[in-house]
Amino acid sequence: MTDLHEDRPVRHPRHGEGRVVADLGETVVVRFGADIEQVERDELVVVRSLAEAVAQGVPDNPLEVLTRAQALLIRSVNDQWGVFSRSRVQLLPHQLWVCRQVTQHWPTRWLVADDVGLGKTIEAGLILLPLMATGRIRRLLILAPARLVPQWRARLKSMFDIRLQEYTREQDRGKLSFWDTASQVVASFHTLRQPAVRERLLQAESWDMVMVDEAHHFQAQERISTQTYDLLRELQERDRIQSLVMFTGTPHRGKDFGFLALMRLVRPDLFDPKKPVQDQLPQLREAMIRNNKALVTDLEGRKLFQPVRTKTVDYAYTPAEARFYETMSDFILDGRAYALSLTGREQSARMLLLIALQKLAASSIAAIRSALERRRAMLADAADRVSEKMLEETETLDEAAEQEEAAPSQIALTLIQGEVERLDELIALAREIRTESKIERLIELIETELPKSEPLLLFTEYKATQALVIAALEARFGQGCAGFINGDERLAIREPDGSVDVRTLSREVAADEFNCGRTRFLVSTEAGGEGIDLQERCASLVHVDLPWNPMRLHQRVGRLNRYGQKRAVSVFLLRNPATVEARIWALLEEKLARIQAALSASMEETEDIAQLVIGMQGGRFFDEIFAEGVNDVARNRGERLEEWFDARTATFGGRDAIETVRSMLGQVARFDFGAVGGSMPQTDLPDLEPFFRNAMMLMGRRVKQGEDGLSVVTPEEWKHSLDLKPRYGGLSFDRALPGNERMIRLLGIGHPLLDHALEEAARRPALIGRIRGLERPILLAGVEDEVTGTGGNVHRIVVGLQRPGSAGRTCFADWEVLVQLNKCRFKDDWAAPLSTMEVAETRALFEILPDAISTLGLPFRRPKAIPLLSLLPEPGK
């Protein structure tokens, strides 16, 4: 073998194609991508360089040249942006940007704190696909709340064909650990935090990537270690996590220690909860991403989301309802007085039970009447006992509501002297109320303020109110007009004749029937506030009751105000302004508006920060505000409610909170279309079709167009591959492809047929050729970082050079060159030797290459360009 000079292209049977770093005689140091290997000289095959091809003056087959160029460009674009990933949903600039930000370096560690509705599952898939394709990720663990585990599994399969195994304790009871056989898993972190289960996980092989949903559950407390936090901390300490990506919409829950403890899980080298928070916030841009609806755009820079329109819909109690409301308030007030005479957990449990009764009463008389009747029956023969169930933290908002609805009939705590007699009085008053004014006002709203047949999403906190609403809707608009979503997928609805109809309906079926238009109304508890997309045809929402925690309102609206929504979302809030709850809500809204105004005045970009501020406070705070306000303040201070509220909420959204949010948002990494929009690829899956047709032609196959899509016979040389079928039909580059086999039919990177085509085309030896439709010569160059060990995940970026045209540029991004080449064809009469002019033009591009690449701002410390291909126009062009 001749002397292997520096940068000589070579090929190795195991490491692939590379370039020589140093010839040591019997061994040679070669760089393969980002890796440098010392290999035996005899194992290397010299590869012809572009400079040698130009010197020889003999062009290559133009079909091979064009197809190879397209393959190199496609890989370069996708390695950076993931734009050709096989997601069945349209990809958005901020999602592509998140993918690029997270996958630029390996190992990767980020907290993604995007607004609800911006597509975290899509972002997760875009991050995973390229890393799985390159072998970076073989072992994957996704941690989520139990109720979101099936959603993660279903969506990653349907959107990206990523197939996860769901962890259950039943599968992990034998001698052989579940973790010894499972490599791509989704699991409930509430299940895994249990000691016996956790230990088996900690003993398992390490994970290439761990993804965490609802990451705010992993915040630590200053003096108390939590099982959830310890689960991830111990995985880290035992070196079981290589890369970590966490998702949450509320990263800061009011305690700097908890926030910094969460960030320490992400980047232990940058954050420490024991150190001052202000000293660490500037480092957030290296570890935390935050995009919000006010700023995200499409590829044209147009804002994607319209402001939500909110309207308050008032109603008034009838005299019978007012009597019940006053009597119920007296009952709660007397119960609080008794509870305050107790101490410790006895007092706490009673207070929480009284709060549950208050919330039920605020939801509907049907809800509180049902609870009171069950409690009356239970107290008749139950022994007095203190339950700690009310003091436990629940996993989801819906579980909290279910717990509150069940508590009155399960917890036999004495709330008041003579409680049974007081309950009898309340139940008698409730039974006098045949119809509820709130429900009558709801029907009036639908008939007078909404277009006929307008789909409507309605939210209630409790199933009793949910059943009442469905009964009223069906009485007015017909049987079967409404579906429901709740935690146990079961609902008892009282019919007009007094009978009870017990219905079962899964959340997936309910959502599908609503999205497809088979039902006009969907009535949901908080179980529909997360994990369900309902924006396909609905843009109107009614809060039948107002939950005490404002966070629930944001999650509810997030079911409609999310990507794919074509209209401005209209939200209606039903309320009785005469109640103290409604007055407290009004004061709370005013306070949030003032907080928003104070923050917006000091920030360059507008952002709705209510969700962050609410999340910082915690749900118990709002329970206390409403409970105290409704009982003590309303009874004893009357018109001084505003003064009490201001004093009680003095720390809520105060200067410290605003400063924390401002500092946090001012330091995070975020998508800015103005800054990066011009560099984002203006390409999508259809831009792969010209390459695919050329690649199949190169392999002696013709792609046919039929009514159901493209069809092709698999090339003979590939039929030994176990991941390929003998032939394919109905193939498409359309992300909106319908049907159950869309992930078999959708072509993109990750589909075995396209992946084989890319591999075959990229390794062809073609270097220079004449291309029909090209106006000026193009030199393709691969740019690599001479510095190794940087953790970079993208090792080569392909760029194109041309003589300056009307735009005055010489260097073009990979996607720009791909779009240009997709319009070209190959010449049939290609074998004539290169002319003196063609050789001179190619060599001229060689000379300007080093200076030209400096204009692209590539993510390399010391970029080095290697000429790869020369594409020439037809002679005379």
Question: Mean pLDDT in each 10-residue stretch from start to end of the chain (877 residues)?
Answer: 82 91 92 89 92 93 96 93 84 89 91 88 90 89 91 88 91 83 93 86 94 89 80 93 92 81 94 90 91 82 87 95 92 88 85 88 92 87 47 56 72 81 94 94 96 94 94 94 92 83 91 94 82 87 90 85 87 92 87 75 61 70 80 56 80 69 77 78 94 96 93 94 92 80 78 94 93 93 83 84 76 94 80 90 91 77 90 81
Q: Supply the pLDDT for residue 385.
A: 44
d(CA 49, CA 51): 5
Look-up of token digits 């207070």: 351
- Two tokens at 782? 């691969």
Q: Same CATH topology for 89-289 and 301-317+434-576?
A: yes
- pTM, rounded to two decimals: 0.81
Work out the end-to-end distance of the chain between its first and last CA atoms, rounded to an integer number of angstroms. Answer: 41
Class of domain 89-289: alpha beta
Q: Supply the pLDDT for residue 601.
A: 64
* CB-side neighbour CA atoms (13 Å) of 310: 11
Q: Supply the pLDDT for residue 388.
A: 45
What residues have CB less than 8 Å from 567, skipping those under 6 apart?
A: 306, 539
Q: Supply the pLDDT for residue 389.
A: 46
d(CA 619, CA 627): 13
Helix, strand, or coil (residue 680): coil
Tell me the residue ranges of DSSP E strands in 345-499.
Answer: 456-459, 482-485, 490-494
- Two tokens at 307? 């402001």
Name the superfamily (CATH) of residues 301-317+434-576. Answer: P-loop containing nucleotide triphosphate hydrolases (3.40.50.300)
d(CA 126, CA 223): 38
Q: Supply the pLDDT for residue 382.
A: 58
Task: Report the DSSP beta bridge partners of residue 540.
Answer: 570
In CATH terms, is domain 1-47 a member of 2.30.30?
Answer: yes
Q: Are 126 and 98 in contact (CB under 8 A)?
A: yes
d(CA 782, CA 792): 16
d(CA 60, CA 58): 7
Look-up of token digits 């008389």: 365
d(CA 347, CA 454): 48
d(CA 871, CA 82): 26
Helix, strand, or coil (residue 660): helix
d(CA 792, CA 105): 4
The Cα angle at residue 120 between residues 116 and 123, in degrees rounded to 5: 145
d(CA 87, CA 156): 9
Q: Are 264 and 272 in contact (CB under 8 A)?
A: yes
CA distances (Å), origin 600, targets 263, 656, 659, 695: 25, 15, 12, 53
What Rg, from alpha-carbon coordinates, does the chain have? 32
In 3D space, the residue among 249, 90, 97, 91 whose CA is nearest the CA of residue 674 turns out to be 97
By residue count, the chain amounts to 877
Q: How buried is 566 (Cβ within 10 angstroms: 0-12 exposed, 13-18 middle, 19+ buried)?
A: exposed
CA distances (Å), origin 236, targets 191, 243, 452, 500, 651: 18, 10, 56, 53, 35
Determine if the peptide bond prior to 752 is cis (ω within 30°): no
Per-domain residue ranges of the chain: 1-47, 89-289, 301-317+434-576, 319-431, 579-650
d(CA 734, CA 456): 30
CA distances (Å), origin 657, targets 135, 648, 653: 43, 16, 5
